[in-house]
């Protein structure tokens, strides 16, 4: 069964780095017709797409403009997972973070369980 | 960037009712629009992709239509498990946007 399993801390201090990992089972992070996304949801901003990584003979990334200077999404082929790093966090980064697989037609057809990350001292 | 406006933001309905939710994109996106269902504490679930294609395993009471800038999600006969929040997502090009969501509540 294909699954995405998220892991990472639920509490991050302001100005520090938020780090989450999404482990993939039943699929491959290197598959040529998939992309691997991070999305977050907060009451104030609703659902917000953060970025994605994907392999098309080489690795590519796309990032949202709102976080482009602070975000890194990296694949880890040895562990078949991908990660999110968001630097210099503020309380406005408090949200439920989801990883998601993007298949054909840009559909987000598989989601992780979600991780509530609170930015607070 | 493509913006999307979803309406209504909330909707009260009864079991057995037919409901329709709309999504309007800021520019033409052909049929590149997906619909999701989201329940509290759970991961979003893909219902419809490419405007009108039912995702595998999704009940046939869910349907989607539209192209260009205007799209609809219809639930033909509401079931108790359908009370949730629904949102649309244009998938034409990144950065992806999401609709603001429609919270479907029991009347």
Q: In the prediction, which pLDDT does A104 show?
A: 87
Q: Which residue has the higher pLDDT, A105 or A7?
A: A7
Mean of pLDDT values over A82-93: 98
Q: Do A64 and B95 touch (CB under 8 A)?
A: yes
Which residues in A lie closer than 8 A to residue B100 (C-beta atoms)?
A: 46
For A35-70, write each residue's pLDDT tens digit. 999 999 999 999 999 999 999 999 999 999 999 999
Per-residue pLDDT, averaged over B23-51, amounts to 96
Q: Rounded mean pLDDT of chain A?
A: 97
User: What does each C-alpha distance from A74 to A7, A16, A35, A51, B50 come to in angstroms?
Assistant: 15, 18, 12, 11, 28
Evaluate whether A95 touches A45 at the Cβ level (below 8 Å).
Answer: yes
Question: In this complex, is the C-beta atom of A8 within 8 Å of any C-beta atom belonging to chain B?
Answer: no
- B contacts of A98 (beta carbons < 8 Å): 43-44
Is pLDDT at B47 greater than 90 in this prediction? Answer: yes
Determine whether the interchain pair A109/B98 forms a contact, defined as Cβ–Cβ distance below 8 Å.
no
Residue A73 has pLDDT above 90, yes or no: yes
* Ranges B17-26, B74-83, B92-101: which has the least confidence: B92-101
User: What pLDDT score was predicted for residue B93?
Assistant: 87
* Cα(B20)–Cα(B74) distance, integer angstroms: 4
């Amino acid at each position: 069964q294909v699954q995405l399993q998220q892991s990472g801390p639920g509490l991050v201090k302001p100005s520090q780095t938020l780090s989450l990992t999404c482990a993939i089972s039943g699929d491959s992070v290197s598959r040529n017709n998939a992309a691997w996304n991070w999305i977050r949801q907060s009451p104030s901003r609703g659902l917000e797409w953060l970025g994605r990584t994907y392999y098309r003979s080489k690795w590519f990334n796309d990032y949202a403009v709102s976080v482009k200077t602070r975000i890194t999404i990296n694949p880890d082929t040895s562990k078949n997972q991908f990660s999110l790093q968001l630097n210099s966090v503020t309380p406005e980064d408090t949200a439920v973070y989801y990883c998601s697989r993007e298949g054909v037609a840009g559909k987000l057809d598989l989601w992780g369980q979600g991780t509530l990350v609170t930015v607070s001292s | 960037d493509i913006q999307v406006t979803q309406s209504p933001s909330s909707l009260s309905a009864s079991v057995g009712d037919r409901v329709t939710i709309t999504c309007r994109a800021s520019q033409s996106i052909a049929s590149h629009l997906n619909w999701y269902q989201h329940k509290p504490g759970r991961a979003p679930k893909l219902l419809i992709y490419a405007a009108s294609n039912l995702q595998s395993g999704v009940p046939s009471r869910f349907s989607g239509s539209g192209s260009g800038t205007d799209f609809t999600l219809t639930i033909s006969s509401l079931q108790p498990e359908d009370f949730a929040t629904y949102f649309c997502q244009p998938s034409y090009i990144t950065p992806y946007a999401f609709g603001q969501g429609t919270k479907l509540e029991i009347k």
